[in-house]
Structure formats: structure tokens, C-alpha cells
Amino acid sequence: MAISLRRARMIIRKALEKGREMQLKPLSVVVLDAGGHVIAFEREDGAAPGRFGIAQGKAYGSVMLGMAGTAQMARAEAQAYFMAAVNGVYGGKVIPVPGGVLVRDKKGAVIGAVGVTGDSSDNDAIAAMAGIEAAGLAGEI
Amino acid sequence: MAISLRRARMIIRKALEKGREMQLKPLSVVVLDAGGHVIAFEREDGAAPGRFGIAQGKAYGSVMLGMAGTAQMARAEAQAYFMAAVNGVYGGKVIPVPGGVLVRDKKGAVIGAVGVTGDSSDNDAIAAMAGIEAAGLAGEI
Amino acid sequence: MAISLRRARMIIRKALEKGREMQLKPLSVVVLDAGGHVIAFEREDGAAPGRFGIAQGKAYGSVMLGMAGTAQMARAEAQAYFMAAVNGVYGGKVIPVPGGVLVRDKKGAVIGAVGVTGDSSDNDAIAAMAGIEAAGLAGEI
Amino acid sequence: MAISLRRARMIIRKALEKGREMQLKPLSVVVLDAGGHVIAFEREDGAAPGRFGIAQGKAYGSVMLGMAGTAQMARAEAQAYFMAAVNGVYGGKVIPVPGGVLVRDKKGAVIGAVGVTGDSSDNDAIAAMAGIEAAGLAGEI
């Protein structure tokens, strides 16, 4: 099962709605497929220009390692040089903090990831999960 | 004047609608701001996974050089080594063909660019223009 | 549908067998998934050490662009600067010649690609097709 | 003496078998030659897509530095900036943790390395050693 564009849009809209509901700073949200490639992205007005790369980096590391942002952060805290080395392998595209959320299908297979950035990492992750759940999918923070 | 997220969404939707109306292959559409940074992107179901980079490359070169895809292609045809050198400077992110369309405000200032990929370069440019005009903006192919 | 490791092995073995049957030079064969990521690779004894990158490059461009090696070569012949620019976007990983073969499922969806290198590009493509067909899949040269 | 493709296959199969026997997560295994170039690679079904780069990185640093994963990790723990600098020199391809295992011939000369990833670094190294020993070679963790 793949994440359709229709579902990716829903994830983004609902994540942004959650952000406004929680009165977060302007958010940026990306949805990647199971190969780490971009399906859809939106950056809210007022967000800093470089937010695409941060959103992508959170989601990209999640897909490529099969490990969501929280687990990546734990590894980075324990072994900073390991995550730095991983970034070398993946072209410097990994941002190992919460807000990178794995998306799984009903059998538990990873079908993509969502990356949210703009507020605190924990709030970013909450907004991502709201989007994923609204789209009827399961997320792993 | 900046391209708002609301307007970027409209550009993407209308470009995709134009593609379906013209029975083009699945399209991917990116909208960049005046600094060449991503505001929004969508890739239609069935498009190849690497389409983000191509769409971005068409729009990125347009903004960075202030020269739309058609003019970039003319320069590449006349002086391939020049566009190759430009790509060295811009980190290899420039795709110098039609489908990269400059977006101008009413005074003629460049406020961003749209990149479309998926069908022939000329059809990509037509879809991009349809989106830009539907959003009440002026495009330069 | 994804290419399983079991099937990837069969593709490689049968491609190598075809090479020996045709008395080709030592071959190297890679199988990539639908996201362009390596599932399996083998380099025959006597092949040059750098063959992994060439095999990967043939298959990688095929997946990322949704365009097999023959079509990539035609584009490169007609518009060399375009394929050079594409390579910038894809990190210099694209080798646009035959021997990069798309793999499709029964509905026609791209589920990966095979890259073969070692002999002439045309012979490489024949070996790749032999492997893909032996695995019960459809290839596009 | 070089690692033949036949032997590389045996290393991979036996490493994967060891992983299943120990009930590890899906593994990915690469075998590199004495120049750090890929001979063979396999990624088990269910492993994350980015595993090739991690497996390669473990083995690559081992060959290039003549220092197996355990020794690299010790150095990284003691002097993180040194391994970061080494990665600059080697193009960001080194993953300095266990699971990168040197392969030696009977005279003790390094003839290549095996990289395993997917479970804990220590379990990865055990699987790699099982493969190397089954192929009648000596490994250094």
C-alpha cells in the first residue's frame, strides 16, 4: 500500500489545523513515500524559508533507517558520532529529532513518513500524528 | 508581495487540473518563493519517485537566474558549458528546460517560480501557466 | 508489489547465466526497489572494482525518472545538457545508457529496476532482461 | 588472495542464516574487496530501504583504515572529532561501529571486509563473523 496524494494532502491539512488549534508557530509539513521521496509539502505563511529541508530531514531519516524521530534522538544522545556518520551516508539529509513520524499500513509495514517543523520538536510530532490519524493511518513518533 | 500558501495551493491545483484536461501524464508541481525556497509541492499518483528534484530544478534555476525555462534552454543550446558551470555554482540544482516558469507581481517584480514536470517540457509549461493565471498572477515561460 | 530478496537473487543469477551463455565479459548486476534503493548486487570475478556504481547508476536513473536506459540515452543524445542537469539533481548517480531496465508488476506499475554492466550496453540489457523474465516479471529496456 | 564471488555469496548466506537462528531483525550484508569496493550485497525483506549505505559504511571504514568496527568505535568514543575528520576524507562513507568486520587470509593480510546492519551493532558483528567463518576465512570484529 502506498500513500496516495489525496491522503498526503489530508495529512498536511490536518497537521496544520492541529497546529493552529494548539496555537503553534507556523508549521511546515512534508509527506514522503516508502523510498524517502517527496509526495507533498506545504509551508505556512510566516515560516522561515529553510523549513523544507528540516521537515524533509526529519522524515527522511525515519524512512531510511526505519526509525522514527524519537528513537533517532535517543541514539544521537547516546552516540552522537553514529548519527553524524549516518548523515554522511545519507548525504547530510537526516534531522534526528521528534517531528519525524513513521507511517505504517495495517500490517505494520512502513509506507512513508511525515516530517513537521516550526514549533518545539514535541509539538511538531503531535501535529504530525494528528494528520496521520485523521488520514486513517498509524503513526510512530 | 509574496506568494501566500493559499495561492501556492491554487497554482498547484489548477496546474494539475490542466494536466488532466489535456490528458498529460501524471504531473508534479512545485511553487518556490522569491528566494528559491519551497512553499508547496504535490506529486500525482503514478509519477516517478524522483520528480520533486526535477520540478524544483526547473523552478530553482528560474528564480536564481531571473530567467525562465525557455530562456535557460536557449542559453544551454547555445553554450552548454555555461549552464553546466551555473549548475556548479548552484549545487547542481538547475534543470534548464521549459516547465520552469517565473511568477511576477503587478509591477513586474519576480516573486517566485513554478516548476512542473511529468509530460513534455512544453506541456509542463502550459500546465504551470494555467496554474499561475488561475491564481491571478503573471507568468513568464 | 515489491521485489522480494528471493526474486532479486533469481534475477541476478539468471542474468549472470545469460552472460556466460553469450560469452560476455564478467558482469555486475544490481536490483533496486521502487524507491531506487539496493536490494541485492553481485560482481563476477574479473570485473573491474568500480562496477557497482555503474550498475547502480543505470538502474537508479531508470527508477527515479521512470524511464529505462534506452529512453535515457535517446534524451542524452538529443539534449546532453538536460541529462547532465538531471545528474546534478540526483547526486551524480545516473548512467543514461542501456543496461538500466525497468521492472513492472502485472498492472504495469514500476516496482524497481535492474542495472547490468560489464559488456556492451546492448548486451548488458539482454542479460538484464533474461534475469527479469526468468523471475516472472516484465522488463522495459 | 581475493574474496571470490562464490565465497562472498557464502558469507552473506551464512550471516543471514545466523541472523534467523538468533531471531534478529531483518539483516543486510555487504562484502567488500581489499580496495573497499562492493563484491556482493543482500537486504532481507522487511529491512529499511537505507540499509545498503549503513552496511557499506561499516565495511568501508574497516578496509580503508585497516581497523575493524570495534576499534573504530573505541576511537570515536575517545576522539569523536577524529572519526568525523576521517569521514571528511572518505566522503562521509564511514560508519564506525561494530558490524564492520575485517576479513584476513591465512597470512593475516586484509583481503576485504563484511558489513552487517539491522539489529544491535554487537549482534550484527556476530552474524558477520558466522558468515566469514563458514566461508573458511578469518574475521576481526
Compute the nearest-CA separation of B93 from chain A (Å).
14
Is D1's pLDDT higher than 90?
no
Are B21 and B119 in contact, with CB atoms under 8 Å apart?
A: no
Percentage of chain D surpassing pLDDT 70? 100
CB contact under 8 A, D48 and A63: yes
pLDDT digits (tens, 9 = 90+) for D89-116: 999 999 999 999 999 999 999 999 999 9
Cβ-Cβ contacts under 8 Å between A and B: the total is: 45
The residue in chain C having the minimum alpha-carbon distance to the alpha carbon of residue D26 is C5
DSSP chain D: ----HHHHHHHHHHHHHHHHHTTPSP-EEEEEETTS-EEEEEE-TTS-TTHHHHHHHHHHHHHHHT--HHHHHHHHHH-HHHHHHHHHHTTT----STTEEEEE-TTS-EEEEEEEESS-HHHHHHHHHHHHHHTT-EEE-
How much is the CA Rg of chain A, to the nearest whole Å?
14
pLDDT value of position C40: 98
What residues contact B11, with CB distance under 8 A and at least 6 apart?
A: B3, B29, B31, B114, B131, B132, B134, B135, B137
Give the domain extent around B103.
5-140
Phi then psi dihedrals of residue A70, to 5 deg: -65, -45
Percentage of chain A surpassing pLDDT 90? 99
Chain B residues lying within 8 Å of C67, measured CB to CB: 48
Q: What is the mean pLDDT of residues B105-111?
A: 94
| SS3 of residue C66 by DSSP | coil
Amino acid at A114: V
- Among C8, C33, C45, the residue with its CB nearest the CB of D5 is C45
pLDDT value of position B119: 98
The residue in chain C having the minimum alpha-carbon distance to the alpha carbon of residue A38 is C35
Q: What is the mean pLDDT of residues C28-35?
A: 98
DSSP C68-84: -HHHHHHHHHH-HHHHH
Is C74's pLDDT higher than 90?
yes
Compute the nearest-CA separation of D122 from chain C (Å).
23
Is B124's pLDDT higher than 90?
yes
Position A18 confidence tier, pLDDT thresholds 50, 70, 90: very high
CB contact under 8 A, A52 and B33: no
pLDDT value of position A1: 86
Position B1 confidence tier, pLDDT thresholds 50, 70, 90: confident
Chain B residues lying within 8 Å of C82, measured CB to CB: 76, 95-97
**Tally of domains in chain A:** 1
Q: B residues 75-134 near C, CB within 8 Å?
A: 76-77, 80, 83-84, 87, 91-97
Chain C residues lying within 8 Å of B93, measured CB to CB: 88-89
Is C1's pLDDT higher than 90?
no
Compute the nearest-CA separation of B140 from chain A (Å).
23
Mutation test of the interface with chain C: which of B70, B95, B117, B121, choosing the one with the most C Cβ atoms within 10 A? B95
pLDDT value of position A56: 98
Q: What is the CATH number of the domain that holds A125?
A: 3.30.450.150
Cβ–Cβ contact A20 with B under 8 A: no
